[in-house]
Amino acid sequence: MRVLLPFLALYRRHWFRLSLGMVLAIVTLLASIGLLTLSGWFLAASALAGFAGLYTFNYMLPAGGVRGAAIIRTASRYAERVVSHDATFRVLSHLRVFTFSKILPLSPGGIARFRHAELLNRLVADVDTLDHLYLRVLSPLLSAAVVIAVATFGLAWLDVTLALTLGGIMLALLLLLPLVFYRAGKPIGIALTALRADYRTQLMMWLQGHAELVIYGAITTFRRQLDEKEQNWQENQRRQTRLMALSQALMILASGLTFTLILWLAAGGIGASSQPGALIALFVFAALAAFEALAPVAGAFQHLGQVTASAQRVAQIIGQQPEVTFPAQGACGTHGESVSLSVENMTFSYPEQPVAALRDISLTLTPGEKVALLGRTGCGKSTLMQLITRAWDPQQGRIMLNGVPLTQFDEATLRASMSVVGQRVHVFSATLRDNLRIADDAADDYALTRVLQQVGLEKLLNDAGLNAWLGEGGRPLSGGEQRRLGIARALLHRAPLLLLDEPTEGLDADTEQQILRLILEHCHDKTLLLITHRLHGLSLFDRIAVMDDGKIIEQGTHDALLQQHGRYYQLCQRL
pLDDT at 319: 78
Residue 475 DSSP one-character state:
B
What is the per-residue pLDDT for 503? 86
The pLDDT assigned to 71 comes to 93
Answer whether residue 466 is part of any domain: no
Say whether both 305 and 415 belong to one domain: no
Distance (Å, whole) CA 448 – CA 451:
5
Instruction: Give yes or no: residues 204 and 127 share one domain.
Output: yes
Q: Structurally, how many domains does the chain consist of?
A: 2
Question: Do 392 and 536 belong together in one domain?
Answer: yes
- C-alpha–C-alpha distance, residues 86 and 21, integer Å: 9
Last residue in a domain, options 265, 286, 318:
318
User: Cα–Cα distance between 229 and 367 in angstroms, integer?
Assistant: 57
N-term to C-term CA, the chain = 64
Domain assignment of residue 519, yes or no: yes
CATH classification at residue 42: 1.20.1560.10
Which H or E element spans position 34?
helix 15-49
Asked, for residue 438, whether it belongs to a domain, the answer is no
| Angle, vertex CA 87, rays to CA 240 and CA 121, nearest 5 | 50
Say if 462 falls within a structural domain: no
Rounded distance between C-alpha atoms, residue 96 and residue 102, angstroms: 10
Assess whether 368 and 290 both reside in one domain.
Answer: no
* Parallel, antiparallel or unpaired: strands 404-405 and 418-421: unpaired
Residue 458 inside a domain? The answer is no
Q: Output the pTM of the full model.
A: 0.73
Instruction: Check residue 370 and give its pLDDT.
Output: 92
For residues 294 and 417, membership in a common domain is answered with no
The answer to whether residue 335 is domain-embedded is no
- The amino acid that residue 396 corresponds to is Q
Q: What is the length of the chain? A: 575
Question: What is the side-by-side order of every strand in the sheet holding 551-556?
Answer: 418-421, 497-501, 527-532, 370-375, 543-548, 551-556
Burial of 462 (0-12, 13-18, 19+ CB in 10 A): exposed
Mark whether 208 and 70 lie in a shared domain. yes
Same domain, 304 and 348: no
Q: At what angle do helices 160-208 and 139-156 cross, to 10 degrees?
A: 170
Single-letter residue type at 193: T
**407 and 368 in a common domain:** yes
Specify the pLDDT at position 206. Answer: 86
446: in domain: no
Residue 79 shares a structural domain with residue 209: yes
Q: What distances in angstroms separate CA 235 from CA 154, 230, 239, one per listed residue?
A: 46, 9, 6
Residue ending a domain, among 286, 318, 350, is 318
The answer to whether residues 119 and 186 belong to one domain is: yes
Residue 453, domain member (yes or no): no
Each as own residue / partner, the long-range contacts of residues 65-73 (CB below 8 Å, 24 or more positions apart, any chain) are 65/34, 65/38, 66/35, 66/38, 66/39, 66/42, 69/31, 69/32, 69/34, 69/35, 69/38, 70/31, 70/35, 72/27, 72/31, 73/28, 73/31, 73/32, 73/35
| Residue 550: other Cβ atoms inside 10 A | 22
Give me the pLDDT at residue 55, please: 63
Helices (H) and strands (E) in the chain, counts: 22, 10
Reported as type and span, the H/E element at residue 324 is none
Range of the domain at 503: 341-427+477-574
Give the pLDDT means over successive 10-residue stretches in the chain (575 positions).
73 85 91 88 78 68 87 92 88 84 76 75 79 78 90 88 90 87 85 87 86 88 90 91 88 90 83 71 86 81 78 80 79 67 91 85 91 87 89 89 89 89 88 92 91 90 88 84 91 91 82 86 89 85 90 90 85 78
Q: What is the CATH number of the domain that holds 556?
A: 3.40.50.300
Q: Tell me: do 141 and 57 sit in the same domain.
A: yes
Same domain, 268 and 414: no
